[in-house]
Amino acid sequence: MFKEIFKEMFHPSKAAIISSLKRSDGLPVSEVAKEVDMSYMGVKQHCINLEKMGFLESWRVPRKEVGRPEKLYRLTAKCDELFPTAGADVSIEILDGATEAFGEDAPEKLLRNYFQKKQDAWSKQIPTSATLEEKVKAVSELREADGFFNVLTVEDDKSINIREYHNPLTRITEKYPILSELEHAMLEQLTGTQIKRAITEGPHGQQLTHYGIKSVA
């Protein structure tokens, strides 16, 4: 199934639009065009085609100012297969097998080992002299390379917020909730600070994870 979807998504511009929309609750063509550095008409035509292919859906919202309602696009469930899931099926089978062979605490031991190795590898890529903001940005970029989709913002009070739209470990976490605790602990170790984590439902039913980080000194 993935191969069939990939064939439909081979155009780099379409992939860029999909990635942009993945990091949002829905956007108009004008905002997508700015993010992907393409012309308005080029993005509009791609969005129309992607909607016909079933990857996007659109709806209209009233404008705050006078004018016609604004048309926004968002991803459909058909896009789910486009994003990495960190070998979820294989990982779950391995963890299930470890339980049968070595006992109930085996999956947690394997997951702890996984995140410790990940932490050790990533910590080498973050300078010890980096500021908190630099550390958070570095971790965010490393997670992006691993298939996570997030948006990082620094507020006026210098607090840092990350809104995560896709986590490739979600399916594994549903079976083994301890994973989210270990992941959270790893992020705090890498940044050297406490991080508040909350899961909410977006306006269109998608699950979002929010990370709040204390003010930068």
């594994």: which residue's tokens?
172
CA pair distance 61, 115, nearest whole angstrom = 43
Q: What's the distance, CA 177 to chain centroid?
A: 18
The rounded radius of gyration (Å) of the Cα atoms in the chain is 20
Q: Tens of pLDDT along 103-118?
A: 999 999 999 999 999 9
**Residue 98 corresponds to which tokens in the numbers above?**
């470890």
Mean pLDDT score, 27-47: 94
| Least confident stretch, 20-29, 63-72, 73-82, 156-165 | 63-72
Mean pLDDT score, 58-81: 84
What are residue 162's DSSP bridge partners?
152, 211
Question: What pLDDT is attached to residue 87?
Answer: 78
CA pair distance 151, 184, nearest whole angstrom = 17
**Residue 76 corresponds to which tokens in the numbers above?**
């459909």
CA pair distance 144, 151, nearest whole angstrom = 10
Residue 53 burial (C-beta neighbours within 10 Å; 0-12, 13-18, 19+): middle
**Residue 28 corresponds to which tokens in the numbers above?**
């108009």
**Residue 58 corresponds to which tokens in the numbers above?**
């659109």
């980096």: which residue's tokens?
130
Question: What pLDDT is attached to residue 68?
Answer: 80
Mean pLDDT score, 177-202: 93
Q: Tens of pLDDT along 90-148?
A: 899 999 999 999 999 999 999 999 999 999 999 999 998 999 999 999 999 999 888 88
Question: What pLDDT is attached to residue 175?
Answer: 94
Q: Tens of pLDDT along 1-25?
A: 434 555 555 578 888 899 889 888 8
Residue 205 has pLDDT above 70, yes or no: no
Strands (DSSP E) found in 38-100: 56-61, 70-75
Q: What's the distance, CA 45 to chain centroid?
A: 26
What are residue 71's DSSP bridge partners?
60
Residue 202 has pLDDT above 50, yes or no: yes
Domains and CATH numbers, the chain: 2-82 (1.10.10.10), 88-213 (3.30.1380)
Q: Tens of pLDDT along 146-172?
A: 888 889 999 888 899 999 988 899 999
* 106-123 helix and 178-191 helix, angle to the nearest 10 degrees: 20
